[in-house]
Amino acid sequence: MNIGIDIDDTISETFEILLPYAQKYTIEDLKRKSEINMNQDFLNHFYIVYMNGWNEKEALAFWSKYYAEILKKANIKIFASDVINKLKKEGHKIYLITARWDMPNDNIQEITKKWLSNNKIEYDELIINATDKLKLVKEKNIDIFIDDSFNNCKNIVENSNARVYIMNSKVNQNLNHKNIQRVYSWPEIYSLINY
Dihedrals φ, ψ of 74, to 5°?
A: -60, 140
Q: What is the pLDDT of residues 94-149, one digit of tens each?
A: 999 999 998 888 899 999 999 999 999 999 999 999 999 999 999 999 999 999 99
Task: Say if strands 163-167 and 2-5 run parallel, antiparallel, or are unpaired.
Answer: unpaired
Please give the share of the chain, as a percent, with pLDDT higher than 90: 81
- Ordered by start, the domain boundaries in the chain are 2-13+76-194, 14-73
Q: Can you list the positions of beta strands (E) in the chain?
A: 2-5, 93-97, 125-127, 144-147, 163-167, 180-183
- How many residues can be counted in the chain? 195
List CB contacts of 89: < 8 A, sequence separation 6 or more.
Answer: 122
What is residue 180's predicted lDDT score, i.e. its pLDDT? 97
Q: Is the pLDDT reported for residue 44 higher than 70? A: no
pTM of the entire predicted model: 0.92
Residue type, 28: E
* Positive/negative CA dihedral, 42, 46, 48, 53: negative
Which CATH superfamily does the domain covering 2-13+76-194 fall into? HAD superfamily/HAD-like (3.40.50.1000)
